[in-house]
A and B are shown apart, each in its own frame.
Chain A
Amino acid sequence: MTSTGYSSPQARMGFFTDTSVCIGCKACEVACKEWNAVPAGDGPGTDAAAGMDLLGMSYDNTGGLDANTWRHVAFIEQHVPAAAEPSAPVQAGPATAEDLGMPTVGAPRQGDAQENAGVRWLMSSDVCKHCTHAACLDVCPTGALFRTEFDTVVVQEDICNGCGYCVPACPYGVIGKREGDGRAFKCTLCYDRLGSGLQPACATACPTESIQYGELDELRARAEARRRELHDAGVTEARLYGEDPDDGVGGDGAFFLLLDEPEVYGLPPDPVVTTRDLPAMWRMAALSAAGVVAALVGSLLGRR
């Protein structure tokens, strides 16, 4: 029996997204939209067509995951002192080289402190985490959200009645309600491809193997090996996110290797499935309901 309740011979499948090799090409976003026929539609918090608007956030023009964005590449530009950059001067190019906004290499420029500052680029392809304890699935009143034989979490479009409860329940802000359609949509981990032995569209399209699809146990081992490799190479800020089966959501089916704190990438630092506290919530509601009965009896039985 797995932690999600399945007792089938099918191994749990998932994603390991190694952001240290992401080049920000957005092939995953495009492949996802193409395969799943996801409309352009609304960006998060705006009425603008996602991907067709310049958001002024580096090269990120989709903003975040939503009903119409199931893979989202984040672009983070950080000022770092050139001296602190881990990159060895591979090629000591002339200081007058054209700045293309690429990760800086080479010797720091002389004199000006401002000129000495470099920019570090972080790129990361975000996706639904397919939680072990998935709040969206727990709170769905119709059973439209279900857990597949691959231990992924999928919305059945023909069942969803658009109640919208899954949207605020997700601790990562992944699932969204599609304007004009009314129902909730999110990443299916390409449920329709897995059964045919194919990889999800995004993993297939990724040119650097930043997105790796496979059996979750194997991915976890691979991710830990990669983290160690990076630490040995001096990249001590590399850390895994969502790989721990003991975290607040029981571990993610889609987890990450990050190079900074999760919140820098727009991820919650310590997400907890809201239904963990549900028994305590029902107890408080029952106590309050008992209080209503007591207040009614006391008020009505009292003397006129």
Chain B
Amino acid sequence: MSAEGRPDRTPVTTNDSYYGLPIVKEPAWQQPDVPLYLFLGGVAGVSASMAALARPLGRDALAKLGTVTAATGSVASLGALIHDLGRPARFLYMLRVFKPTSPLSVGSWILAPFSALASMSATSVLTGKFRTVGALAGAVAGILGPAMSTYTAVLLADTATPAWHEAYRELPVVFAGSAMTSAAGVALIALPKRDSAPVSRLAAVGATAELAAAHRLRTRLGIISETYRVGRAGSLLKAVEVLTGAGVALTATGRTSRIARALAGGAYLAAGLCTRFGVYAAGVASTRDPKYVVEPQRERRGRV
């Protein structure tokens, strides 16, 4: 190491990594494309189901808003997904096979028909034409809705990214809860007081589920929980708690002004965005330091 003429600066490797380099690759997806794809798909899914339920209950304004939100959100989600592809022109290759082992294949087969059906339904609602076809399309989209809001959690968990894979029990609850609060957020902003009670209830349920599951992410995953507590992910998930808490507090009384409803809705939507960007950031952080790969695997093999 200290030969003459050669600077003694070559780092001698340590026993727990190769020059501190990552072992697994950082997700090859882009930000904001993929976090937006996750967020928009979730909002669209719950909105479609909300619309499908609201229609027979006579809540026409809620049904119309849900239908339009589902169409807009899912088409935008699809757009974000296509934009993220290395070869966008080959998007349709996603539909050349159906592979249950690939959550992205399953997801494409959910997202593509969902966005088509939601768009048909929204077109019918906005133009007043083809009402039967539109209602039928809306109903099927409503059935696909809950899957839209949860398959993205499997998409992330089915990777070697430590913070995502080890969170496979919690992530679907986080994403479903967040999708409910976000969909309720759109309704709180756009609709009159008459419809605010049911959507506030929906938001409260979603918020409770999401915050409880997110708490588990920060505490139950051993060393990997660090990635949800510190850095960019830690800040974003802290913001989720504050924003979601504010939303619940603003709508808790049920007698809320238009401004309070809009603020609560805005807080819920911002929280939904922070959730997706936060979870994404935790995944990235867990790939950058090899200890999140090595230490849990060493423990598994009984050597510490």
Contact = CB atoms under 8 A, between A and B. Distances in A.
Interface in B97-133: 97, 99, 101-105, 108
B268 to A, nearest CB: 14
A167 B158 CA distance: 12
A52 to B, nearest CB: 18
Interface stretch (B165-173, B223-231, B240-248): B165-173
Contacts of A303: 197
B18 A300 contact: no
Given A44-B21, A98-B3, A296-B50, A165 B169 contact: no
B43 to A, nearest CB: 12
Contacts of A148: none
A99 B49 CA distance: 73
A295 B202 contact: yes
Contact of B3 (A99, A138, A264, A291): A99
Contact of B53 (A172, A270, A282, A300): A300
Nearest to A124: B18
Contacts of B97: 141-143
Contacts of B149: 288-289, 292
Interface residues of B, number: 91
A294 B194 CA distance: 22
Given A143-B96, A268-B23, A280-B168, A274 B176 contact: no
Given A141-B104, A163-B94, A292 B168 contact: no
Contacts, number: 282
Interface of A: 44-45, 56-58, 60, 63-64, 74, 76-79, 98-101, 119, 135, 138-144, 159-165, 167-173, 175-177, 181-184, 260-261, 263-271, 274-275, 277-278, 280-282, 284-293, 295-304
Interface of B: 1-4, 6, 9-13, 15-19, 21-29, 45-46, 49-50, 53-54, 57, 59, 84-87, 90-91, 93-94, 96-97, 99, 101-105, 108, 145-147, 149-151, 153-154, 157-161, 164-165, 168-169, 172-173, 175-176, 179-180, 194, 197-199, 201-202, 205-206, 209, 283, 287, 290, 293-294, 297-298, 300-301, 303
Can you list the 5 inter-chain pairs with the closest CB atoms, starting with the nearest? A162-B86, A182-B86, A266-B18, A164-B28, A161-B90
